[in-house]
């Protein structure tokens, strides 16, 4: 049986940690869809279209990976798209706590299982929120985001070198 896995998230913006999990997941599953949440009530730094484009540029070389966005309940996307498993990365205990809640809810609502991959240790302290905070104050985040994201952050914060 082929498994279509779904990696949902905010990805505002993706970091190298996300990218590592995308690539490792793409090797584990037949198909991987990365789904950016489109939350109309919560405005992020990047629009959902920008987030999708930043991800798509980084996974263009992976033939079994697609990128899209979704609104509403994640499990509706799961049932409508034949998703067999959810996949997420875990950086540590703080992530485990939140992700356990999500995993139980999603299994309750749609019977879908969640698979967690351990984050790369050297990226375990990297988050979209820290990247945004440091970049907004002019700090260097280039080691922790793909080059396209680094350029997009510089454009957003107007501190292009």
Does 15 participate in binding ligand PNS (rule CB under 6 A)? no
Helix (H) or strand (E) holding 46: none
Per the annotation, the verdict on 156 as an active-site residue is no
Q: Are 111 and 15 spatial neighbours (Cβ–Cβ below 8 Å)?
A: no
Residue 45's alpha-carbon distances to 65, 110, 124, in angstroms, are 25, 31, 22
Catalytic residue (one of 18, 48, 51, 88): 18
Per CB under 6 A, contacts with ligand PNS among 87-146 are: 102, 105-106
Catalytic residue (one of 31, 48, 51, 91): 91
Does 37 participate in binding ligand PNS (rule CB under 6 A)? yes
Helical axes 147-157 vs 128-136, angle rounded to 10°: 50
Per the annotation, the verdict on 38 as an active-site residue is no
The footprint of ligand PNS (CB under 6 A) covers 8-10, 37, 73-74, 102, 105-106
């Amino acid at each position: 049986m082929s498994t279509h896995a779904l990696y949902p998230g905010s990805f505002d913006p993706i970091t190298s940690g996300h990218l590592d999990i995308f690539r490792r997941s793409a090797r584990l599953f037949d198909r991987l869809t990365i789904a950016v949440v489109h939350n109309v009530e919560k405005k992020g730094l990047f629009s959902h279209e920008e987030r999708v484009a930043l991800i798509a540029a980084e996974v263009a070389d992976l033939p079994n990976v697609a990128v899209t966005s979704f609104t509403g309940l994640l499990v509706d996307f799961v049932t409508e798209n034949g998703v067999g498993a959810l996949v997420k990365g875990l950086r540590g205990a703080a992530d485990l706590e939140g992700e356990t809640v999500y995993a139980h809810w999603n299994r309750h609502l749609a019977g879908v299982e969640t698979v967690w991959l351990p984050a790369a240790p050297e990226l375990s302290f990297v988050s979209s929120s820290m990247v945004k905070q440091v970049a907004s104050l002019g700090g260097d985040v280039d080691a922790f985001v793909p080059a396209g994201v680094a350029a997009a952050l510089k454009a957003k914060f107007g501190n292009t070198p």
